Amino acid sequence: MSMLFMPFRAGALSLDHRVVMAPLTRMRSEPGDKAGALMREYYTQRTSHGGLIVSEATPVAREGYGYAGAPGIYDDAHIDGWRAVTDAVHAGGGRIVMQLWHVGRQSHRDLQPDGGAPVAPSAIRAEGDAYTPNGAAPFSMPRALELHEIPCVIEQFRQGAARAKAAGFDGVEIHGANGYLPDQFLQDGTNHRTDDYGGPIENRARFLLEVTQAAIDVWGADRVGVRLSPSGTYGSMSDSNPQETFGYVAEKLDEMGIAYLQVVEPRIKGTELVAESDAVAARTLRRAFRGTLIAAGGFDSASAEAIIRAGDADAVAFGRAFISNPDLPERLRRNLPLNPYDRSTFYGGGAHGYTDYPALETVG
């Protein structure tokens, strides 16, 4: 029997198979950054009985936006739209956790309240583009958060976690990967602070761990996950000793007893497969993290099966394949062909490239 279709647990979540839907930014929210009917249809299509969905990254603050059109969780007005999504997933027998997001410096003034500078641990500009209402634009120069502001940002994560609970999610995931704000605090290429949140790894890891604890205070540890990208360079990220940095964080998260750790492999940069390589990130952090580990980044059915059989991961998150195959778990179970994806429709737009990919029952 395929290991992909054996039951497992991620903290309090009991799941029937190990094909996880990865968090996928699609930028299809309604005015006011609300989840609407189109998003509900998208998630309903991708629900599998006993399967786990990680929602698209969802900003906990207006300052946390880097992609116009992403749905929010920074206001109580967002709860009802997301509740319609979670109700639909639960009706299909699935489970869904919300990924809580703050992009930090990976933003543009056009996305910020009153046109202000994006915030970051240090005033170091990132390479790359934000998705503004007027199209792609280079990331703006950020300003360093003042020490007294940091507890306010942590509180925004806590409030986002509480709203996710009110919206009927089964848990939350802290987006600590891909060069976003928690990752910016963590890595010394982007954190040049000299206060309690900079310098040695114990200080640089403090922001991520305090954000995680804020979510735990709302949900309990067994319904909180964390996503890391130990080898990621997206957003011009770097660290002088990533093995020590991420090993330390993995140990601390293990001590906190979180539901799962999701680890992004280095062969993915953004949405691009940049290299065919072994899954080294999950294998490395497995030594420090004894809980449920979900590997992500460039997997197919065979490589997913292999990493689970090797014991380096308990489940695998699929991204691009889930975009174009709403019934991906069933296709993998039956070893059936996959629909190709259309990259031009990944970010923004309407139903085309979002909810119009054919499922098995529509193709015979």
Catalytic-residue membership of 180 = yes
Out of 42, 74, 180, 197, pick the active-site residue.
180
Calculate ∠ Cα 216-54-189, nearest 5°.
Answer: 70
Which residues participate in catalysis according to the annotation? Answer: 180
